[in-house]
Chain A
Amino acid sequence: MTVARTLITVPTAAKRGEIIEIRVLIQHPMETGYRRSSEGEMQPRNLIRRFTCKFQEDGTTGSGVHIFSASLYAAVSANPFLTFHARATASGGFVFNWEGDNGFLQSDRAAIRVA
């Protein structure tokens, strides 16, 4: 498991039915595979290609409900940053997954309390 620094912004508490904003940032070079190094060699592609966000309600098992997912390509900037929204339905945790080239895998979780 690769370890990259992530920055996740999710409100810790929300009212039921409220629409919340989720912002995620992960440290990653997003090397396109189209660039050369200063020695003139092609830099091999190293991208995060897939991001998914699922919601796991407290007290339930399983992989959770799909909230949002993204396919990323070379045109996404280094340290991919994404903003999206979700409707707060119950207390639980958002599970974030990043997958990429060279077996890159990272998972993170953010809890929310819904009143």
Chain B
Amino acid sequence: MHSRRTFIKLSASVAASVLVQPSAVLGQSDSLAAVVREYAGAASLREGRVKLDIAPLVDNGNSVPIEVTVESPMTDADHVVGIAIFNEKNPQRDVAQFTLGPIAGRAHVATRIRLATTQKLVAVARMSDGSCWTHTVDVLVTLAACIEG
């Protein structure tokens, strides 16, 4: 009787822990989820507040304009501390990491990146209160970077 009860309790808690995993991280390759997790540290990861802007269909993977905007008042009390961009299938998961503060006034960064193939991109924003927010985007690449040029 006792062991059956513990088994039910255990299986319920396992099911619960699977269910509470953020949906954004599920279904991605392990290493992408792992680097996003590592950047967030102990903070919880939630979807929203950050927006990753990139063309859904990319002709040339060698130079792809990308923008990240975070909803934040950028005051001393509540601002964005860092923004990171990660990819799924380039040789390296890191794309770029930015640190900013209330003096930035607006939490918006833009750059140009390389994409090796059709893949997912994730932007993570870390807030001054310690919370982390993510946005995942799928990008279709027709001409890959790293082959020539």
Contacts and interface: CB of A to CB of B under 8 A. Distances in A.
Interface in A59-77: 65-77
Interface string A72-87: 1111111011111111
Contact of A76 (B91, B102, B106, B112): B112
A68 B102 CA distance: 10
B62 A77 contact: yes
B108 interface: yes
A47 B99 CA distance: 19
Nearest to A88: B105
A84 B100 contact: yes
B146 interface: yes
Contact-size category for B: 20 to 34
Contacts of B11: none
Nearest to A25: B112
B146 A76 contact: no
B22 to A, nearest CB: 24
B57 interface: no
Given A19-B105, A82-B111, A87-B105, A72 B96 contact: yes
Nearest to B94: A73
B110 interface: yes
A21 B88 CA distance: 30
Interface residues of A, number: 29
Interface in B50-103: 62-64, 67, 87, 90-92, 94-103
B109 interface: yes
B60 to A, nearest CB: 10
18 contacts: A32-B146, A66-B99, A66-B103, A67-B100, A67-B103, A69-B98, A70-B96, A71-B96, A74-B91, A75-B87, A75-B92, A75-B96, A76-B114, A80-B112, A83-B108, A83-B109, A85-B105, A85-B106
Given A83-B108, A85-B106, A85-B108, 12 more contacts: A20-B105, A55-B103, A73-B94, A74-B90, A75-B90, A75-B92, A75-B95, A77-B64, A77-B114, A78-B63, A86-B105, A87-B102
Interface of B: 62-64, 67, 87, 90-92, 94-106, 108-115, 146
